[in-house]
């Protein structure tokens, strides 16, 4: 009985420790080499800060909350890599200007989307290519299987990212469920400008360091990852900024 009590207590403590739960792309795998040529590593002083997507030769789409990490500092974008340490095929481009959405609210996380204008255009090749914006303004249906990718950090309390680009499949969860008491209970409110995606059993998710990375559904860019505090939990799926027509119009206006 004493052993069982000690064992139970140890297990409770283990699950309460915020150690290896939120480490990287949860439950995922390394991407096939150069299969995601649109992926961007946004870096401050040569260190990965956020993910992003090359949507035009001179433009990166990412999350607005990433700007809080480097607002008044010079940042670079690294393209053409799967590994942060093996940069033979890399293109390293400086950011000329940052355009966080003017309506971004870091409390509600509404409008968490930002454009980065590069000082020079990327050279498109087998390692670097653009991911176009969605052609139709359709919502993503509940149950749709999507993919999220990134260089999420390898330790909970470390700023060190995963060296290898990873990906995992997640499933779209309808907003009513996501806003329910069992899930987020309207904190934050998941609006029509957002998408909820995860795994009903947990264990498959994006995490810290993956912010700004793309949510790909049926080969189309449909979302940009918000910041995550808890990762891989059954009733705490990822929340993504949905690429709506309003955001597409905003993107086209700025990049024009």
Question: What are the tens digits of pLDDT across the range 143-170?
Answer: 999 999 988 754 444 556 688 898 989 9
Alpha-carbon distance of 210 to 92, in angstroms, equals 19
Quote the Cα angle for 193-100-45, to 5°.
Answer: 125
Give the span between the Cα atoms of 58 and 100, in whole angstroms.
16
Residue pair 240/177 in contact (Cβ under 8 Å)? The answer is no
Contact indicator for 69, 48 with CB cutoff of 8 Å: no
Question: 127: which residues sit within 8 A by CB, 6+ positions away?
Answer: 34, 37, 79, 80, 81, 89
Q: Which residue has the tokens 């052609």?
A: 135
Tokens standing for residue 100: 């966080």
| Distance from chain centroid for Cα 211 | 4
CA 239, CA 241: separation in Å to the nearest integer?
A: 7
3-state secondary structure of 239: strand
Residues classed as catalytic: 65, 112, 211
- % residues pLDDT > 90 (the chain): 59
Domain with CATH 2.40.10.10 in the chain: 39-130+247-255, 132-244
Query: Tokens in use for 171?
Result: 């499933």
Distance of alpha carbon 169 from alpha carbon 26, whole angstroms: 10
Confidence of residue 100 (pLDDT cuts 50, 70, 90): very high
Give which of 48, 95, 104 is closest to 72, Cα–Cα: 95
Is residue 150 within 8 Å of residue 165, measured between CB atoms? yes
Q: Residue 21: pLDDT band by 50, 70, 90 thresholds? A: very low
At 6 the pLDDT is: 40
Task: Confirm or reject CATH 2.40.10.10 for domain 39-130+247-255, answering yes or no.
Answer: yes
pTM for this model (two decimals): 0.85
Question: Pick from 171, 180, 165: which is nearest to 240 by CA?
Answer: 171
Angle value at C-alpha 101, between 107 and 130, nearest 5 degrees: 120
Which alpha helices (H) appear in the chain, and where do they start and end?
Answer: 2-16, 67-70, 175-178, 245-255
**Rounded to an integer, what distance in angstroms lies between the CA atom of residue 200 and that of residue 25?**
16
pLDDT, tens digit (0-9, with 9 covering 90-100), for 193-238: 999 998 877 666 566 667 899 999 999 999 999 866 577 677 888 8
- Report whether 78 contacts 47 (CB < 8 A): no
Would you state the structure tokens that stand for residue 28, as one six-digit string?
């995922």
Give yes or no for a contact between 76 and 93, defined as CB atoms under 8 angstroms apart.
yes
The confidence band for 104, taking pLDDT boundaries of 50, 70 and 90, is very high
Architecture of domain 132-244: Beta Barrel (2.40)
């Amino acid at each position: 009985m004493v052993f069982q009590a000690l064992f139970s207590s140890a297990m409770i403590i283990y699950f309460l420790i915020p150690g290896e739960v939120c480490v990287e792309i949860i439950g995922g795998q390394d991407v096939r080499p150069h299969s995601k040529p649109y992926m961007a590593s946004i870096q401050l002083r040569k260190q990965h800060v956020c993910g992003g997507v090359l949507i035009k030769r001179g433009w990166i789409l990412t999350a607005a909350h990433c700007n809080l990490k480097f607002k008044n500092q010079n940042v670079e974008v690294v393209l053409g890599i799967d590994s942060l340490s093996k940069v033979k095929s890399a293109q390293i481009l400086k950011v000329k200007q940052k355009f966080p959405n003017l309506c971004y609210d870091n409390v509600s996380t509404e409008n968490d989307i930002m454009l980065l204008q590069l000082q020079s255009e990327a050279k498109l090749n087998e390692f670097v290519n653009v991911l176009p914006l969605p052609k139709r303004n359709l919502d993503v249906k509940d149950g749709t299987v999507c993919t999220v990718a990134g260089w999420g950090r390898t330790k909970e309390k470390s700023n060190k990212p995963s060296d290898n680009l990873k990906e995992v499949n997640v499933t779209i969860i309808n907003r009513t469920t996501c806003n329910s008491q069992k899930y987020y209970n309207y904190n934050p409110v998941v609006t029509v400008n957002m998408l909820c995606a995860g795994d009903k059993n947990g264990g498959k998710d994006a995490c810290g360091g993956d912010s700004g990375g793309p949510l790909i559904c049926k080969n189309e860019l449909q979302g940009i990852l918000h910041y995550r505090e808890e990762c891989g939990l059954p009733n705490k799926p990822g929340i993504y900024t949905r690429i709506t027509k309003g955001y597409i119009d905003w993107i086209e206006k700025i990049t024009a």
